[in-house]
Amino acid sequence: MRTSFVFSEVVTGLRRNVTMTIAMILTTAISLFLLGVGLLIVRMVDKVQDNYQSKLEVSVLLTNDVSANDKDCAQQPCAGLRSALETTSGVETVVYENREKGYERFKQIFEAQPELVKLARPEAIPATFRVKLEDPERADVIVQAFSGKAGVKAVNDQGEFLGRLIDLFNGLRNGVLGFALIQALAALLLISNTIQVSAFTRRTEVGIMRLVGATRWYTQLPFLIEAVVAGIIGAVVGLGFLAAGAIGVTKMSGDLFSSQILPPMGLLDVVIVSPILLGVAVLISALTGYVTLRLYVRI
């Protein structure tokens, strides 16, 4: 009977303050949606690092005359550059890719973007040495040693590009989490105000219960459960937003994901972060409700 009474009071409280309850649910949903976006970005950064960290190379691009006239890298300065790269400390492998092979590689990478492939011409693709290092973080040694040498057009460190990409995602993550924090503060204030209003509207019946011997914890429990239930509903709504957003972004950015420039994010990733969002919703709602009842509500 006591359990039935508590839950009937919870339902009554949620229905009685329906507008504030809806506002609390939506605010919680938005804050948790933003938190979920931040967590998905963290997962994407981890996937990018896992996918590319072991594949990082230094690309030594050759000049146009070398690319056009030395298909097999048998003449100078191409042969000398290959020998120098192979004997450099820390170099694991050196692969020569002539202009034709480079063009085929370009078409494979961007096969999901046929318009870009049509615009490209083999003559625009330079012959390249693809250098794999034992320690990718020491790419600057190759960059400094071979930049400006005869036959070298440019030296590109893939790790530098990866670092810029990760910095971009980290900045986006920090911005999203900042908005999530602001929205979470609004949710906390709404939860606190909703509990205070709910307690005020039921002050007479709660007072009668206290007079007949009900403990303070027993009279406050329905208000605490109201906050937790609203938080859980908000988390479920936020997860719905997150799932819809993940599917929508994946479809709109299909070229990036299909070409494997970025790892795809889908419903599985949302499922993985969902326990965190539900746990945060329950914890914040319960703590806010408890503190509000202890500090501001005397029933």
**CATH assignment at residue 105:** 3.30.70.3040
CA dist 228 and 290 (Å) reads: 10
In a domain, 140, yes or no: no
Same domain, 121 and 244: no
DSSP alpha helix (H) spans, 53-157? 64-69, 78-86, 99-109, 114-119, 139-146
Task: Dump the DSSP string for 131-168.
Answer: EEESSGGGHHHHHHHHTT-TTEEEEEEHHHHHHHHHHH
pLDDT at 1 over 50: no
Residue 77, preceding bond cis, omega within 30 degrees? yes
Same domain, 129 and 63: yes
Domain boundary among 93, 114, 135: 135
What are the tens digits of pLDDT across the range 137-150?
778 888 888 888 88
- If one compares 204 and 86, the residue with the highest pLDDT of the two is 86
| Residue 209 domain boundaries | 3-52+164-297
Averaged pLDDT, 37-59: 79
Tokens of 137: 């973080």
Q: What is the pLDDT of residue 294?
A: 76
| Local structure of 253: helix, strand or coil | coil
Continuous segment of H or E residues that includes residue 96: strand 91-97
In a domain, 48, yes or no: yes
Averaged pLDDT, 199-223: 67
Same domain, 174 and 250: yes
Same domain, 181 and 84: no
Q: What is the pLDDT of residue 296?
A: 63
* Among candidate residues 6, 4, 61, the one with its CA nearest the CA of residue 219: 6
Averaged pLDDT, 76-87: 88
In this prediction, residue 275 has a pLDDT band, given cuts at 50, 70 and 90, of very high
Q: What is the pLDDT of residue 157?
A: 83
| Local structure of 215: helix, strand or coil | coil
Same domain, 193 and 234: yes
CA dist 89 and 111 (Å) reads: 36
Same domain, 44 and 188: yes
Task: Say which range, 10-14, 161-165, 229-233, has the weakest mean pLDDT.
Answer: 10-14
What are the tens digits of pLDDT across the range 157-202?
877 777 787 888 888 888 888 888 888 888 888 888 877 777 776 6
CA dist 229 and 291 (Å) reads: 17
Q: What is the pTM of this model?
A: 0.68
Averaged pLDDT, 94-123: 77
Same domain, 178 and 250: yes
Task: Say which range, 10-19, 40-49, 237-246, has the weakest mean pLDDT.
Answer: 10-19
CA dist 76 and 26 (Å) reads: 68
In a domain, 237, yes or no: yes
- If one compares 110 and 225, the residue with the highest pLDDT of the two is 225
Averaged pLDDT, 245-273: 69
Q: Is 38 exposed, middle or buried (0-12, 13-18, 19+ CB in 10 A)?
A: buried
| Count of domains forming the chain | 2
In a domain, 221, yes or no: yes
pLDDT at 128 over 80: yes
In this prediction, residue 259 has a pLDDT band, given cuts at 50, 70 and 90, of very low
Same domain, 73 and 18: no
pLDDT at 86 over 90: no
Using the Cα atoms of residue 265, residue 267, residue 268 and residue 273 in order, give the sign of their dihedral. positive
Share of the chain above pLDDT 90, in %: 4
In a domain, 154, yes or no: no
Same domain, 218 and 128: no
pLDDT at 208 over 70: no
In a domain, 149, yes or no: no
Q: Are 44 and 262 in contact (CB under 8 A)?
A: yes
CA 214, chain centre distance (Å) = 48
Averaged pLDDT, 19-40: 86
Same domain, 255 and 219: yes
In a domain, 144, yes or no: no
Using the Cα atoms of residue 139, residue 140, residue 146 and residue 152 in order, give the sign of their dihedral. positive
In a domain, 15, yes or no: yes
Same domain, 9 and 74: no
Mean pLDDT of the chain: 79
Q: What is the pLDDT of residue 291?
A: 83
Domain boundary among 82, 117, 135: 135
- If one compares 299 and 244, the residue with the highest pLDDT of the two is 244
| Local structure of 1: helix, strand or coil | coil
Same domain, 168 and 265: yes
